[in-house]
């Protein structure tokens, strides 16, 4: 049985320590998988977050009879992990551009296709952080949609809500975040 | 005065903001300001915040949407230039001259034919990856039919073959024109001129259909406009090609060929989106023509092609198959002002005029062509052209707005019969929208009155006392006003949810509504009617009971609850309701109220003590006199009361008069059934049997199809048939009657 499966079962039983271990685990799995894929692809290719996450899920044995809630946990963690990877990449590139050329980092950059330009990505992430304080659930939905490219339908299933609700949440969250990002621009 | 918006009870600021935002965005733009004024009342901050969100919502566009270009890791499908033919190359007898264009399907060249005649043709080479043999076989199958097509608005297909590398190609009449949509916009064609061109396209498609050819891929880039002596002539190209290459639509190939498949999803009919590939007929082309007309009128396709592509294959199919597009005029009126002005300029018209022109007949013509169910579309391209011509000649068009019953059916998504709640849902919406404003202003008016009193007080000291009192009262009133306006919001939201078919969510919401106000009765009624339609009697009763409880002075709600209680055999509850009805309405002088309430009390035989009261109510009803258009209803209730009072002869007289007048089916059935029982009481057994048979026949043939709104009357009619039949039965068992 894989480590992920064990942890998922522990989470099912309400083990909160297991929940804390889970995110780093998914994070490192995603990185490993991405690095391995990069090595086998021609240079210049970028990896699609959706494909990457789904493949990670299958590799971890997610295909065979996993609990539904386990799936939800996994994709929730994967969205957060992907968000961190993307934000790290954006921050690092930004630092390099701003004359930080000497601070070479030993982690190999994983070329994951980002949904937006670095600057915008960081702004959106900022706004999303504020939004999640206000409405955790809807912020989860945004992460699933935005960072791992889930459709409304998939994200509704993952969160255990109806598609109609997901769509409504999405539109509200999107309007909220858009307004926030625009306001940030104006204040600059 | 305290005007802190946080005062609003029960909902937190953010949830309320979200609820109002959700409601407002479903409204046409023009109505939003009025709604926000109502929903937000004096809370300007909340209102500004929601306006900002709405603006944000409109402008969000691609915001947070993954870019389709980011799909970089998918294998690339574009044929590299080196694989293309070069000028001077020969394909069959055809010498390539220049590249005319490249599309998802392949490349189109201008080529020169040398024999048997020398002419320039268009030569379309299909991209690699298709099974050439199949394509050729399908083309051969249609070649005969294609050769017979001869129409000035159709580009002829001359030939087909395979290149040396095995790619299929088609040879067509060379049309040097531009896309019909571009032509219209570049030349600022008026709506009428656009329709003229559209009619010609319809006729061309009709011609092909008559020869047995379906286009299957009608879209602006396949309809080119050329000028002949300065007159624009549309030409439909590529007939027969989509059919020959249909293999690309099969499920297996679609993934790897996603790019070419999604070239034109916006024009694809729902049945094509199914991609079963089997059952496509001429009505698929009618749908595509509908999309074209939509685009000619509004500058946009019913569904945003970018959005379709982005949403992924499954969602795209679902959208095309299930989602109702907004009407063209609605689409126009929701455009951003700048967009609308630009669009109107391209139509050579003023924005308001353009919307006005499209609203109504053109809306219905387009929507009929775009019906999901192809049997509801125009049967032929000619019918579509004819209706468009009628519009141009100011004649009445045949396309009609769908009936309210049909719309209700759609709204309930085929969930069981549709006698539910069209009127009530609309009523609930209107009530909800107006309500918060009404309640708020009402309480405010009370406050104003108090202030008047202070102003009028003569004595200064008296004024001081009054002022202090008023200040306290004012606070209470203000609080109540806020509370009321918040209920109004909840009702509005519930109304919207129901109008979207989301009855379960509306019901959840309505369980939490406090305080109880009569205006919410119509929503409980609508919820009850919906449950009733689904055969869920218990839940129906719960909601109908609530509607009576929150609005006990309105007889309307009793009139639905009573028959359902009888139907569900809830006799104790029914008896209690009867007492309530009699207490509330026994003294009414309104004939209509007296009629309905008496009838509800008479469905099951009432106790002797109530009979006199009910007889009096029936008298109030018939006192309206024969000039009243509802007089037959009143006569029926009088006859019904006479029967329950054990006056069969009088009863028979009234009922025969009702029957002689014909009319409403439920009323006729009721009258025959009670007549049967009265005749039995007179021991006219054969007459009784005949009357019952008449009631049963009418009920069997026409009751279910009669007026949708009178479902409560239909219950009563059926109950009375049951009662009459039981009486005849028991008589027969007791003493079989000899003939």
For chain A, strand residue ranges (E) read none
* A76-80, B488-492, B594-598: least confident range: B488-492
The nearest alpha carbon in chain A to B310 belongs to A151
Model pLDDT, residue B422 = 42
Q: How far is A92 from chain B (nearest CA, A)?
A: 21
Of residues B524, B519, B499, B522, the one with CA closest to residue B509:
B524
Mean pLDDT of B223-227: 92
Which chain B residues contact residue A51 at CB under 8 A? Answer: 73
CA atoms of B80 and B67, how far apart (whole Å): 23
pLDDT at A125 over 70: yes
Sheet holding B223-228, edge to edge: B178-179, B223-228, B231-236
Cβ–Cβ of B18/A172 closer than 8 Å? yes
Domain positions in chain A? 1-114, 116-188
Q: Is A146 on the interface with B (CB under 8 A)?
A: yes
Q: Is A58 on the interface with B (CB under 8 A)?
A: no
Residue B415: alpha-carbon gap to chain centroid: 14
* Per-residue tokens: B546: 């609530």
Using CB atoms, which residue from A46, A172, A174 is nearest to B73? A46
Q: Is A167 on the interface with B (CB under 8 A)?
A: no
Which chain A residues contact residue B311 at CB under 8 A? Answer: 151
Q: What is the Rg, in whole angstroms, of the alpha carbon atoms belonging to chain A? A: 17
CA atoms of B477 and B515, how far apart (whole Å): 15
Model pLDDT, residue B374 = 87
Q: Is B72 on the interface with A (CB under 8 A)?
A: yes
pLDDT at B383 over 80: yes
pLDDT mean across residues, chain B: 77
Using CB atoms, which residue from B57, B73, B312 is nearest to A175? B57
- Secondary structure class of B125 (helix, strand, coil): strand
Helix B361-369 crosses helix B381-392 at what angle (to 10 degrees)?
170
Cβ–Cβ of B64/A146 closer than 8 Å? yes
Which chain B residues contact residue A168 at CB under 8 A? Answer: 22
Q: Is A55 on the interface with B (CB under 8 A)?
A: no
Residue position matching structure tokens 């020398």: B118
Q: How many helices (DSSP H) and strands (DSSP E) are in chain B?
A: 33, 9
Of residues B722, B555, B716, the one with CA closest to residue B636:
B716
What is the torsion angle, in degrees rounded to the nearest 10, for the CA atoms of residue B13, residue B15, residue B19 and residue B22?
110
**Residue B227 contacts residue B197 (beta carbons within 8 Å):** no
* B142-146, B256-260, B309-313, B725-729: least confident range: B256-260
**Plot region of B28 (φ>0 → left; ψ -120 to 50 → alpha; else → beta):** beta
- Secondary structure class of B588 (helix, strand, coil): coil
Confidence band, pLDDT 50/70/90 cuts, at residue B243: low
Which chain A residues contact residue B314 at CB under 8 A? Answer: 151, 153
- More confidently predicted of A103 and B566: B566
Using CB atoms, which residue from A115, A142, A151 is nearest to B311? A151
Model pLDDT, residue B423 = 41
pLDDT at A92 over 80: no
Which chain B residues contact residue A123 at CB under 8 A? Answer: none
The string of DSSP codes covering B593-658 is HHHHHHHHHHSSPPPHHHHHHHHHHHHHHHTT-TTSTTHHHHHHHHHHHHHHTT-HHHHHHHHHHH
Mean pLDDT of B717-726: 92
Confidence band, pLDDT 50/70/90 cuts, at residue B127: low
Tell me the fold of A116-188.
Arc Repressor Mutant, subunit A (1.10.10)
B168 has which bridge partners?
Answer: B162
**Residue B159 contacts residue B117 (beta carbons within 8 Å):** no
ipTM, 2 decimals?
Answer: 0.79
> What amino acid positions of B are annotated as catalytic residues?
217
pLDDT at B738 over 60: no
Which chain B residues contact residue A179 at CB under 8 A? Answer: 52-53, 55-56
Residue position matching structure tokens 């409601």: B23
Of residues B561, B548, B634, the one with CA closest to residue B600:
B561
Of residues B650, B695, B654, the one with CA closest to residue B676:
B695
Please list the helix, strand and coil fractions of chain B in percent, rounded to the nearest 5, in that order: 65, 5, 30
CA atoms of B184 and B186, how far apart (whole Å): 6
Give φ, ψ of B162 to 5 degrees.
Answer: -125, 140
Note the pTM of the prediction, 2 decimals: 0.41
Strand B94-102 with B90-91, pairing? antiparallel
**Residue B259 contacts residue B309 (beta carbons within 8 Å):** no
CA atoms of B76 and A165, how far apart (whole Å): 36
Q: Is B503 on the interface with A (CB under 8 A)?
A: no
* Per-residue tokens: B655: 């009922």
Which chain A residues contact residue B66 at CB under 8 A? Answer: 115, 146, 149
pLDDT at B603 over 90: yes
CA atoms of B126 and B136, how far apart (whole Å): 11
pLDDT at B130 over 90: no
Q: How far is A41 from chain B (nearest CA, A)?
A: 10
Cβ–Cβ of A176/B315 closer than 8 Å? no
Q: What is the Rg, in whole angstroms, of the alpha carbon atoms belonging to chain B? A: 35
Using CB atoms, which residue from B60, B63, B73 is nearest to A48? B73
Confidence band, pLDDT 50/70/90 cuts, at residue B420: very low
CA distances from A104 to A85, A90, A107, A109, B580 (A): 17, 15, 9, 11, 84
* B5-14, B498-507, B623-632, B692-701: least confident range: B5-14
Q: What is the pLDDT of residues B6-41, one digit of tens each?
A: 333 334 667 778 888 888 887 777 778 878 887 787
Cβ–Cβ of A178/B60 closer than 8 Å? yes
Residue position matching structure tokens 């209470």: B476
Q: Is A152 on the interface with B (CB under 8 A)?
A: yes
Mean pLDDT of B207-218: 86
Model pLDDT, residue B528 = 84
Q: Which of A175, A176, A183, A184 best probes binding to B when mutated, by most B CB atoms within 10 angstroms?
A: A175
CA distances from B579 to B196, B329, B497, B607 (A): 68, 52, 35, 11
CA distances from B265 to B139, B308, B317 (A): 23, 7, 9
What is the torsion angle, in degrees rounded to the nearest 10, for the CA atoms of residue B526, residue B527, residue B531 and residue B534?
60
DSSP letter at B109 equals: E
């Amino acid at each position: 049985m894989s480590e992920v499966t064990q942890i998922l079962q522990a989470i099912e039983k309400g083990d909160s320590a297991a929940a804390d271990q889970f995110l780093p685990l998914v994070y490192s799995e995603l990185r490993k998988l991405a690095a391995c894929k990069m090595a086998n692809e021609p240079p210049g290719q970028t990896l699609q977050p959706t494909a990457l996450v789904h493949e990670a899920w299958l590799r971890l044995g997610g295909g065979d009879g996993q609990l539904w809630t386990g799936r939800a946990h996994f994709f929730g963690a994967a969205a957060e992990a992907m968000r961190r990877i993307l934000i790290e990449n954006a921050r690092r590139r930004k630092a390099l551009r701003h004359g930080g050329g000497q601070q070479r980092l030993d982690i190999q950059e994983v070329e994951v296709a980002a949904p937006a330009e670095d600057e915008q990505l960081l702004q959106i992430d900022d706004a999303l952080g504020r939004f999640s304080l206000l409405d955790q659930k809807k912020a989860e939905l945004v992460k699933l949609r935005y960072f791992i490219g889930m459709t409304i339908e998939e994200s509704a299933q993952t969160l255990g809500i109806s598609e109609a609700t997901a769509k409504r949440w999405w539109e509200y969250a999107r309007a909220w975040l858009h307004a926030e990002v625009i306001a940030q621009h104006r204040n600059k | 005065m305290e005007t802190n918006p946080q005062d609003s009870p029960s909902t937190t600021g953010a949830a309320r903001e979200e609820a109002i935002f959700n409601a407002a965005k479903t409204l046409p733009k023009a109505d939003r300001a009025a709604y926000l004024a109502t929903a937000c009342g004096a809370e300007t901050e909340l209102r500004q915040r929601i306006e900002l969100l709405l603006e944000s919502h409109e402008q969000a566009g691609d915001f947070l949407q993954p870019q389709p270009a980011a799909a970089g890791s998918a294998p690339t499908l574009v044929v590299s230039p080196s694989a293309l033919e070069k000028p001077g190359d020969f394909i069959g007898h055809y010498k390539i001259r220049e590249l005319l264009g490249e599309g998802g399907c392949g490349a189109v060249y201008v080529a020169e034919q040398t024999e048997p005649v020398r002419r320039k043709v268009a030569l379309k080479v299909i991209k690699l990856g298709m099974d050439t043999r199949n394509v050729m076989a399908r083309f051969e199958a249609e070649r005969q039919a294609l050769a017979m097509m001869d129409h000035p608005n159709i580009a002829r297909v001359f030939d087909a073959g395979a290149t040396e590398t095995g790619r299929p190609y088609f040879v067509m009449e060379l049309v040097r024109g531009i896309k019909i949509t571009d032509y219209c916009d570049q030349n600022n064609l008026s709506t009428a001129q656009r329709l003229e061109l559209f009619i010609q396209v319809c006729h061309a498609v009709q011609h092909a259909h008559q020869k047995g050819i379906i286009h299957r891929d009608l879209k602006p880039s396949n309809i080119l406009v050329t000028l002949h002596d300065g007159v624009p002539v549309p030409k439909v190209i590529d007939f027969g090609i989509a059919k020959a290459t249909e293999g690309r639509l099969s499920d297996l190939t679609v993934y790897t060929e996603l790019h070419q498949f999604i070239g034109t999803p916006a024009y694809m009919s729902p049945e094509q989106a199914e991609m079963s590939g089997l059952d496509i007929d001429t009505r698929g082309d009618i749908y595509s023509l509908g999309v074209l007309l939509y685009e000619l009128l509004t500058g946009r396709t019913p569904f945003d092609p970018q959005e379709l592509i982005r949403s992924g294959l499954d969602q795209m199919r679902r959208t095309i198959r299930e989602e109702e597009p907004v009407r063209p005029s609605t689409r126009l009126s929701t455009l951003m002002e700048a967009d609308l002005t630009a669009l109107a300029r391209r139509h050579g018209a003023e924005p308001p005029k353009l919307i006005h022109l499209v609203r109504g007949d053109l809306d219905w013509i387009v929507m009929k062509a775009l019906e999901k169910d192809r049997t509801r579309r125009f049967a032929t391209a000619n019918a579509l052209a004819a209706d468009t011509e009628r519009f141009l000649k100011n004649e009445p068009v045949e396309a009609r707005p769908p009936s309210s019953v049909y719309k209700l059916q759609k709204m309930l998504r085929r969930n069981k019969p549709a006698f539910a709640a069209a009127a009530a849902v609309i009523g609930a919406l209107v009530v909800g929208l107006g309500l918060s404003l009404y309640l708020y202003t009402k309480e405010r008016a009370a406050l104003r009155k108090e202030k008047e009193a202070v102003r009028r007080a003569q004595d200064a000291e008296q004024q001081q006392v009054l002022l202090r009192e008023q200040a306290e009262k004012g606070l209470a009133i203000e609080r109540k006003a806020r509370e009321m306006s918040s209920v109004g919001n909840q009702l509005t939201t519930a109304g919207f949810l129901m109008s979207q078919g989301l009855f379960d969510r509306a019901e959840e919401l309505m369980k939490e509504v406090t305080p109880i106000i009569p205006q919410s009765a119509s929503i409980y009624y609508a919820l009850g009617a919906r449950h009733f339609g689904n055969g869920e009697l218990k839940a129906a009763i719960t909601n109908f009971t609530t509607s009576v409880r929150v609005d006990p002075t309105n007889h309307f709600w009793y009139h639905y609850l009573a028959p359902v209680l009888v139907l569900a055999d809830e006799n104790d509850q029914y008896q209690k309701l009867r007492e309530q009805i009699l207490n509330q309405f026994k003294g009414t002088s309104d004939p209509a109220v007296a009629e309905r309430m008496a009838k509800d009390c008479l469905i099951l035989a009432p106790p002797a003590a109530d009979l006199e009261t009910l007889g009096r109510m029936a008298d109030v009803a018939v006192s309206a006199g024969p000039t009243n258009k509802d007089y037959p209803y009143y006569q029926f209730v009088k006859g019904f009361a006479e029967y329950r009072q054990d006056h069969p002869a009088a009863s028979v007289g009234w009922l025969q008069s009702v029957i002689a007048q014909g009319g409403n089916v439920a009323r006729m059935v009721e009258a025959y059934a009670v007549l049967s029982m009265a005749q039995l009481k007179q021991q006219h057994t054969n007459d009784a049997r005949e009357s019952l048979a008449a009631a049963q026949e009418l009920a069997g043939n026409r009751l279910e199809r009669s007026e949708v709104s009178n479902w409560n009357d239909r219950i009563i009619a059926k109950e009375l048939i049951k009662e009459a039949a039981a009486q005849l039965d028991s008589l027969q068992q007791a003493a079989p009657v000899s003939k």
